[in-house]
Chain A
């Protein structure tokens, strides 16, 4: 009889609803953010006891709040306790999205149909070269696993609003806690007052239920105390609070004017990344029409500053994320870089996907024709190749040469420092006058009328 005892796995502790254990470290419990592709980027979901900060520096859109609404909707759908801190939390909760009406009770096996899938189905009829027929279609994002019966991540539809009955039920069950900001906080220490309120809320919940804290716009005008130090102190204290109550997680979104270095000082985004567990930045293209032209199929770029690692050195996302593309078994085919990520907000959902340059684009494209001296600048569309130069015909008092580079196009604007306002006007003038000074393209043609050299 051997003295070895079989290791009996310890009794599996039942996980709270809407959560699952992380594949890289079983002691980490993950919960979904409501967006499957974001869950993939985070390494399976947002770990409990972690805080996620979503920065959305684009002034013209509200992607940060959109992510928050997904977070809230997922929490309500799973039956978890959700706590929203907002100046008008009721309205915020009522604006959340919900599952499409037809499939709110049954699980549909097909992914939600939208304009992209229909176009793809039409294209399936085209003939594919035989050697590629077996290959999977090129996927840029993670397809939500709708066949699973667990309620980890629900499919939400941006066109449907959350029913008021669901909100009322949740409020009556004390699963939805709406904390308004201007209730009972003393002005002098408002940020710390909010921390104390959150602490009361967390202390009142039991450790078996998952609590989601949602702060849609931290530091906006309704908050008192908006210096960078206060924001960092708040995030630091929030993280400590989450460690004390590890059944909770938090998702915080900063308003656009707080996401830039000009407000917070040099290295502000990095500081935010250091005092939280996870930080991502949704840089929308709203302010920059050239970026819209360069990436027509996306609405913004996603930058990952920090990923949650509550119990390990290496984040689960590095090993398991398909979107980021870093996953590799030990030493097998390592050395690949990380994928660039972008997001787009379609009619029915928000998805994050890998970003690839178009067929025609890219700096590695080989140029066969010499670059033209001046090409007409169309307002919306910039040509992918060629060098763009706007030459100023004005007085030659130029002191500084400013070179502006827009990925594939290079604009050289010469002008003195004092003359810069005038420069922009003349640049605009040049843009509107279509001066076509294109050099004739080299043509290689086959002339059939002339006898070929080897025509015998």
Chain B
């Protein structure tokens, strides 16, 4: 490799390593900082958890959770801070219904109390103010009335040309009227003051109650305000009336004053002229003399001249005066207008305000009603929703509970069933075992009994077979045994359920049963006797049976000698079939107790020898049969007995 190539490869390798190392390091660092990232990496990249654990230590299991909890706590704290102070101990804890209700009740109660108090106070104030106002109005009216009366009277008094006594009475009336008026005005003033006071107090009360910010009070307040306004309006009206009346009266009074002044002047003049005359119109009429009258007239003339001059002057200054008075009047009018305008504006403002307030209150009521309906609707909707949710929840919970209940019940039932089944099984098992044992015991007993029975039967059989055997053996030399019938019957009786033995027992030959069998010894003896005879008729058979043959066979028998006994060979050949041979074999066998072989051998005889031996053979066969059967029976009995005998 070239150096450049190797350095190039090294460069590539180094760059790759750097990249990988940088990536891993960056991942680790970032994982150290951001736990969620770490968790994500650990989840997605295999073996990263090992690596990160190696690098940073085990990840906080609760870290993320803690963060989240901390965040939420911060949020809660923030919310808690923003909430009113009493709620800081547990943020956003839903106040229990009772507390809320209590609070609401308390609030309601308070409202009611304030309402009642406010209404009471308002009513009181209203009442008092109304009274005062009415009083004031009445007083004002009275004052107005008095004023008008006074003015009227004054006018009357001034203009009416009535006789002096009446004039004095008129003047008296006037004075009375004036006094009335003054008193009335004073009364009116005081009443007005009182009314104003009352109204002020009412206003303050209204303001106070307005300041309470209780909504229920508002209509009352509004009504009170309206009343106040009305009263104020009335009062003002009356006051304006009074004022107008007063102004009118002022004019009139001014006029009357002027007149009075003039009169006084005149009087003074007159009195100056005539000092003894009282300045009393009424008294004047009867007491004046002619001089006085002339003086008076002269005075009057002078006065008239003066007055004319004044009038002319006045006429000259009329315009100016009029202008000035007009100005004054304008000013006053302006003032009055302003005042009236002000009051009217105030009234209108008040009116509008009241109207506004009324409208507002109406609107508020309407709004309240609407809001109430909306709230009611919302409440209804909420209740509906809550009902629905509750229903659903109820269903869910019911389903859950039912499920749980069902599963629990099922569990319980299955466990109970299991238990009961177990119990039953155990019981059954016990019962079965007990029963089995009982059955076993019964069977054992039965088998014992059966075995005993069997043993007994076997014993009996054996005994009977032994008896049979014995009776077989107990045979005399020449006579047959007793008939085996009884013994056989006994055997048959003792084995009537055993087929084998029964078969065997029935297999006994009839002859043996009826007549008995010959013993071996007798047979032997008989054979010995027979032997001679058989020897003598050895040559006689079917074909050779003349007397000559007889003679020859007799001759043979006399001349032939054979061995007395000869052991028979295993197999007979044709030479052994010679009767003499056979006889010797048979004799041998008989001597050795082998009746069977002897019978077999004897069976080989033919011809006359055979005929002679026939009976013996039959007897031998019988005996052999019986003996065989008996031996079988005894063997069987022995076997059975052995089988049933219990080894100690």
Q: Do A and B bind each other?
A: no
B residues neighboring A (CB under 8 Å): none
Residues of A bordering B, CB below 8 Å? none
